[in-house]
Amino acid sequence: MLKNWKDIAIALALAILTWYLLTGREKVEAWVDMSVEMTNAPEGLTIRKGLVSKIEVRVRGPKGLVRSLDRRKWTYSLDVSRLKVGENLVDIDRERIPLSMAYEVVEVKPSRLLLTVDRIAKKEVPVIAEWRGSLRPDYRLIEIKTHPEVVEVRGAERQVKQMTQARVSVQLDFEDPPSLWSEDVPIKLAEGVEANPGQVKVSLRFGPEIKTAWVRVPVILEAGPGLQAKSSQSYVRVQVEGPVPLLREAEAGRDIEGLTAVVVLPGGLKPGRHPVRYQLTTPDGFRVLSRETETVGVTIRK
């Protein structure tokens, strides 16, 4: 068997060659995807609608060659140099399809494009921010701001003329809201319109809900050295505007930390009972609206 190995090799080579020639001559068809690339785009114009990202080409050719088409990425160059404002009917030119003469182009989908063209325009518009989400009870969004507050938008003239604002949206849920949250957020625009800058810094400021209530305030008496004095009341009532979580403390019968009525006794008071004005100290976020009384009765002992 080893003596005739050359004859076996020749026979095998002839068989492979015969198979290649037979399959090479066999004609088959296949669909090939080609991405669309614009060339010679006219300055100052933009395609508002009608442009496709790819076309499908049905080709016929030798079986062996057609099978190899899928191994490459194909691009069709769409010449848009003659576009004008309005609707433009543009044919897909088969001669620009990048295939060799070994292939026959049978069909193209789509065979033509209806392109709507507009002038490019730009203008400045304010940025409107909105927050959507949830907070724990008794808390609220106090302020929402963007930086910058105005951006330049650029796109099709018809779309840009209708724009009065650019919008950004933040979707966040807070169980323990920070006093301040800040992050860069992209601007939402219609397709074909772009902003400069494309994102803005959004700042959210949170704080407790505010309400008005009457609360009791402990009286603190500050007497000078050697002076014996006693207040006729331990509390005064005042109307305040303040954070709901702290006002709930007062509703539960507890004193609000930092809210006091301080009585500083002036010098020279004689023994007996005297009405003395008090000064209110308030924690952050509180505002005094009214008082039941402006003075506290103080008794000076001998």
* Domains recognised in the chain with CATH numbers: 2-110 (2.170.120), 121-208 (2.170.120.40), 210-300 (2.170.120.30)
Instruction: Report the distance separating Cα 253 and Cα 216, nearest Å.
Output: 9
Q: Which residue has the tokens 């650019």?
A: 166
User: How many CB atoms are located within 10 Å of the residue 204 CB?
Assistant: 22
- The confidence score (pLDDT) of residue 291 equals 95
Alpha helices (runs of H) in 56-206, residue ranges in sequence order = 63-67, 157-162
- The confidence score (pLDDT) of residue 293 equals 93
Structure confidence by residue, pLDDT tens digits, 205-250: 999 999 999 999 999 998 877 778 899 999 999 999 999 989 998 8
Q: Which residues of the chain have pLDDT under 70?
A: 1-7, 13-25, 302
With a threshold of 0.85, does the pTM exceed it? no
Q: What is each CA distance from 99 to 78, 90, 102, 178, in whole angstroms? A: 15, 20, 8, 62
